[in-house]
Amino acid sequence: MKFPSRLKPITDRLSEYSEGIRSMREQIITNSILIGQVPPISVNVKQDEVEHKNTNLRVRTFLERLSEVGLHEAATDTAGNAVGLIKGEGEREGCIVVAAHMDTVYHFDQETHLSIDSNSISGPGIIDNSISLGVLLSLPEILNHLALKFNSDIVLLGLSESLGEANLRGIREFLKHWRRPIKGAVILEGAELGRLNYFSRSMIRANINCEIPMISGWENKYGNNAIIILNEIINRVLEIHLPQRPQTQIIIGKIKGGIKHGDLALSSSLGLEIESTSDELVQQIFSKIEDIVDTGKHENLVDITLTPLSNVHAARLEYTHPLVKTGVACLEALGVKPVIESSESELSIFLGHKIPAITVGVSHGENYHTENAQIEIDPIFKGIAQIVGIIEAIDKGIIDEQ
């Protein structure tokens, strides 16, 4: 790949940046643990004799920490996202957004415990996505430590609602109401370092729930079994013809049902995802699954529902786009092999608004989405160095060169 010539002075400094960032190890770890231990839930909070309803605890902690490091422009937007502004030295036209989602797949509603040893940080939600929030919180001090100045304003965006049924509400609302031009966006995910997402496939995520009404405790001993009914639905879903082009798949990612070994299951559920490079094909497959669910409902005389949870449209940058080239160049300069794949996430929403954007990983991790999730500390410094390099390239207008 041929890289823009103006990129070389940036990539030549990345190893130096990485070592400079390493000297801030304790601040980065402290910020990551601080934000990671706070549950991403909304509660009523009383402050100065005034009750604030539906206050997101993680958003509040994030903003308080930004204020402590000297970032005076830090507040929530209309969607409840945390927005902090690092002021640039140039004219206030375009800005650069660095974003990370605040919610977690692993749900906890009380303060949790994160542990640290010489090599890693461990605990629920640290990979997805507390470490990224720790990096966001550390970015003002890191840029100051590296003595870097920018013409563009840098927007630090903590997205309050992204996962599951939230359906990326945070970024959708942010872009709906944001009025200033955005030069480019960098989306942070905890792992893996080397990931480089610059396209999103079309996607619909949904749940199928099967419920058998129970009138008396003995009636269903030899009757319908919700697990068997759901199994029939799975078999029919797997019979749906999927073309090789455009690339399409149905992923059945989770399933549960029943209570006891010796009792017929009265309820069962599964979660699935339809993915394709074609929006039209995803909708067609979803319609076929709707028909399968309706058939199962009427043939078995039970209550079966198909509930869509979230969706995104297909969107992409080309591999030859200067922002993608920048991401590749920064990783290679740090000795990290780029891993290219799609990301059905905030990336799709940025690209859908014609904003150049990529998603990158911060470090390496294990035990994703469990209470024993673990993120490695040492690779974080390279992960942050790549982010700084990408921000520099966007600020200098390198990604505008076609």
pLDDT in tens, 365-377: 999 888 899 999 9
Q: Which two tokens stand for residue 78?
A: 């209309």
pLDDT at residue number 50: 53
DSSP E strands, 289-345 = 303-312, 315-316, 339-340
Residue 200: per-residue pLDDT: 97
133-149: average pLDDT: 97
Position 100 pLDDT exceeds 70: yes
Higher pLDDT, 383 or 41: 383
Q: What is the mean pLDDT of residues 68-83?
A: 91
In the structure, what pLDDT confidence band is assigned to residue 49 with cuts at 50, 70 and 90?
low
Architecture of domain 3-200+314-396: 3-Layer(aba) Sandwich (3.40)
Domain parsing of the chain, residue ranges = 3-200+314-396, 202-312
What's this model's pTM, rounded to 2 decimal places?
0.91
Alpha carbon distance 138, 146 (integer Å): 12
Give the 3-state secondary structure of residue 93: coil
The domains spanning 3-200+314-396 and 202-312 adopt the same CATH topology: no
- For 160-192, b/e burial (b = at least 16 CB within 10 A) is bbbbeebbbbbbbbbbeebeeebbbbbbbbbbb
Residue 65, pLDDT above cutoff 80: yes
Question: What stretches of 171-321 adopt beta strand conformation (E)?
Answer: 182-191, 195-197, 199-200, 202-211, 248-257, 267-276, 303-312, 315-316
* Residue 41 pLDDT grade (very low, low, confident, very high; cuts 50, 70, 90): confident
Predicted pLDDT of residue 402: 61
User: Domain spanning 202-312: which CATH class is it, in words?
Assistant: alpha beta
Q: Is the predicted pLDDT of residue 112 greater than 90, yes or no?
A: no
